[in-house]
Amino acid sequence: MLILGIDDAGRGPVIGPMILAGCLIDEKIERKFKTLGIKDSKQLTQKRREFLAEKIKEDAETFEVSLAFPEEIDQTNYDGINLNELEAIKTAEIINKINKGFKKIKVVVDCPSVSIEKWTDLLKIKIKNLSNLEIYCEHKADKNHVAVSAASILAKCIREKEMTKLKKIYGESIGSGYPSDPATCKFLEKNHKKYEDKGIFRKTWATWKNIVSKSKQRKLGEF
């Protein structure tokens, strides 16, 4: 049986895109990936992830990625589509591209929602052909399924490449893009106005809103 693992990278950052990746393998390649030490991308160094990503691309039946940049994330939020639903849309896009309907595929997704059942139903609505698919959505699927681990490595590597592109334009001080990163928060405080229209910030994030609000309060305090 073929196994399609799907995972995300960059759900939480205030800077940069969210990445979804899907990796289709058979049971023989699954065993090979285990031997190679493919596991949850968070447990690997960047150098190791990059090495394994090339191996994954070489040996997988196929793979697909889907990117959601800050402007799309914000726009869907304004339209009443939250991040979980956007992720269901992007996940379905990957499944629809890979699934040709000829062979049975076990699809395993690292579920982004607290409610697995509700999110699974949401995902299924967006898939074009379910007849040959077995859909499994789980928490911590990237730790428990090699195909999902492979997808998590691909997604993480693409997220890192996207951040490298931003660092070349805006400098290393941009940090990781995550709200928990002091460097990112400092960059945001200093440059939110300057780069406001460059499409790099998620303006529907609380981190962005708080910094803009504080900036306005400081200006009012100057009068």
Looking at the chain, which residues constitute the CATH 3.30.420.10 domain(s)? 2-166
Looking at the chain, which residues constitute the CATH 1.10.10.460 domain(s)? 169-212
Q: What is the pLDDT of residue 222?
A: 52
What pLDDT digit, counting tens, does each position of 12-49 carry?
999 999 999 999 999 999 999 999 999 988 889 999 99
Residue ranges in the chain whose pLDDT is less than 70? 217-223
Say which residues have a Cβ less than 8 Å from residue 223's Cβ, sequence separation at least 6: none
Q: What is the pLDDT of residue 219?
A: 56
169-212 falls under which CATH superfamily? Ribonuclease hii. Domain 2 (1.10.10.460)
CA nearest neighbour of 187 among 197, 177, 82: 177
pTM above 0.75, yes or no: yes
Q: What distance in Å separates the CA atoms of residue 192 and residue 185, rounded to the nearest whole number?
A: 10
Strands (E), 44-203: 62-68, 105-110, 133-138
CB atoms within 10 A of CB 187: 21
Q: What distance in Å separates the CA atoms of residue 68 and residue 140, rounded to the nearest whole number?
A: 22
The yes/no answer on whether domain 2-166 falls in CATH 2.40.10.10 is no
